């Protein structure tokens, strides 16, 4: 049963399995966001010359209970920044201030909107 369902989802089998389980648990939107970022390169940047500064900037997203929740926190804050006036410039500023790759965040947004969970 799960094999056929997973075969129809164009993702790595582990991510497809996460989405199937999320449907049963009632958390598809959250897991789709996490699955989308796991299928991309991590958007967090840590330039060698600014490691401590990047770590401080990333710390605002950290959830000690789970790296997945940390990723979800990044997503929620990014979506909030997206609603600000001058959205594109605000997003670039948000990414720069939080040591996130604007390009990867856009890829994350695009892959999440394809799944209908933006």
For the chain, 118 residues long, the average pLDDT of each consecutive 10-residue run is 63 82 90 90 96 97 96 94 80 95 93 64
pTM above 0.85, yes or no: no
Position 16 scores a pLDDT of: 82
DSSP string computed for 64-82: TT-HHHHHHHHHHHHHHHH
Asked if residues 78 and 105 have their Cβ atoms less than 8 Å apart, the reply is yes
């Amino acid at each position: 049963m799960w094999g056929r369902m997973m075969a129809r989802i164009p993702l790595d089998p582990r991510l497809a399995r996460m989405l199937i389980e999320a449907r049963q648990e009632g958390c598809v939107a959250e897991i789709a966001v996490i699955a989308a970022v796991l299928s991309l390169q991590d958007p967090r940047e840590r330039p060698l010359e600014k490691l401590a500064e990047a770590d401080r900037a990333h710390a605002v997203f950290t959830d000690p209970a789970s790296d997945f929740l940390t990723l979800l926190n990044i997503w929620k804050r990014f979506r909030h920044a997206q609603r600000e006036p001058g959205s594109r410039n605000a997003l670039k500023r948000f990414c720069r201030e939080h040591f996130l790759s604007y390009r990867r965040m856009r890829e994350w947004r695009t892959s999440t909107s394809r799944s209908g969970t933006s």
